[in-house]
């Protein structure tokens, strides 16, 4: 499925044409809402972060150079979520855990069960906020611990610790579903 927008659409949206902006919104919406749902329970919170991110897309459309447009949009919403996290002063929670983390051995988790998006989202949202944030960035968005540490202003150890805690919790949840 090729979702990359036409250049003309981008130019019209950047010029302030409302119809083009709404057409672009339709195109970006799946990317934006899927990211928002991984971080927020509440529809209002999801709406806020989705629309704030899209407004930034419009604002900085002139800076966008040819490339993968939707990847650029994904980065914008990730940044918006981190910002939101900072604004709500939940940032300090990240600093609580700074103990060294032992490197994980061979993956010991295996499952044949197929989970729906909704089930996975529900499990993800049951994590604590810092663990959810770090796990999202690491496991789903593909950032390295070094990058997460730089983005969030924490140490790599902290990022690893939150990932480990998130995995542990998610395994428990999956095992509970099995039972």
Partner 1 sequence: MNNPVKDPLDELFSSLNDLVQESPSPAFVQDLEARLDALEKKRRKPLLIWWFFSALGAVLFSGSYFLFFSNHAANQGQQHAENKNNTSAQAMTKKQMDTTSFASEFSSLFHPSTSTSSSSSSSSSSSFSSSSTNLIAAHPTTSSTLLSSSVSSSNAAPSTDKTRVQEETYIINPILLSDDHEKDCVLIVDQPTPVLPKAVVPTKKRIQHQIGLQFGVSGIFSSFDLPASHPLLTDDQMKLFRETREFGERNTSSWDFNLRYGMSINNWQLQTGLHYFEWGEQLQYDVISVEGTNRYRYLSVPLLLGYSFDFGKIRMSPFTGLAYGKCLTANGNYIEPQVNGVTLVTAKNFAGTFIGQLELQYVLNSKLVFTCTPVYRRSLGPLIDQQMIVNSYQSLGLQTGFLYRF
Give the interface with partner 1 as residue ranges (CB under 8 A): 1, 3, 16, 18, 21-22, 25-26, 29-31, 33-34, 38, 47, 50-52, 54-56, 58-60, 63-64, 72, 75-76, 79-80, 82-83, 86, 104, 107, 109-111, 115, 117, 120-121, 124, 135, 138-144, 147, 150-151, 153, 167, 170-171, 174
In whole angstroms, the minimum distance from the beta carbon of 167 to partner 1 comes to: 6
CA 96 to mean position of chain CA atoms: 22
Q: Rounded to an integer, what distance in angstroms lies between the CA atom of residue 5 and that of residue 140?
A: 24
In whole angstroms, the minimum distance from the beta carbon of 100 to partner 1 comes to: 19
State whether residue 65 is helix, strand or coil.
coil
- Please tell me the number of Cα atoms within 13 Å of 67 on its side-chain side: 7
Cβ-contact 81, 73 below 8 angstroms: no
In whole angstroms, the minimum distance from the beta carbon of 57 to partner 1 comes to: 9
Q: Which is nearer to partner 1, 39 or 97 (CB)?
A: 39
In whole angstroms, the minimum distance from the beta carbon of 159 to partner 1 comes to: 12
What angle separates helix 156-178 from helix 145-152, to the nearest 10 degrees? 110
């Amino acid at each position: 499925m090729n979702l990359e927008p036409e250049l003309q659409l981008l130019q019209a949206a950047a010029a302030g044409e409302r119809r083009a902006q709404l057409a672009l919104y339709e195109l970006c919406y799946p990317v934006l809402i899927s990211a928002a749902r991984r971080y927020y329970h509440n529809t209002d919170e999801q709406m806020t972060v989705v629309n704030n991110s899209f407004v930034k897309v419009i604002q900085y459309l002139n800076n966008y150079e040819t490339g993968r447009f939707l990847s650029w949009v994904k980065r914008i919403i990730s940044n918006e979520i981190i910002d939101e996290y900072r604004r709500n002063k939940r940032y300090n929670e990240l600093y609580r855990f700074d103990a060294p983390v032992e490197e994980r051995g061979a993956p010991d988790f295996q499952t044949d069960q197929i989970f729906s998006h909704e089930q996975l989202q529900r499990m993800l949202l049951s994590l604590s906020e810092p663990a959810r944030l770090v796990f999202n960035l690491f496991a789903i968005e593909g950032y390295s611990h070094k990058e997460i540490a730089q983005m969030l202003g924490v140490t790599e150890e902290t990022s690893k610790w939150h990932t480990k805690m998130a995995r542990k919790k998610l395994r428990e949840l999956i095992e509970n579903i099995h039972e």
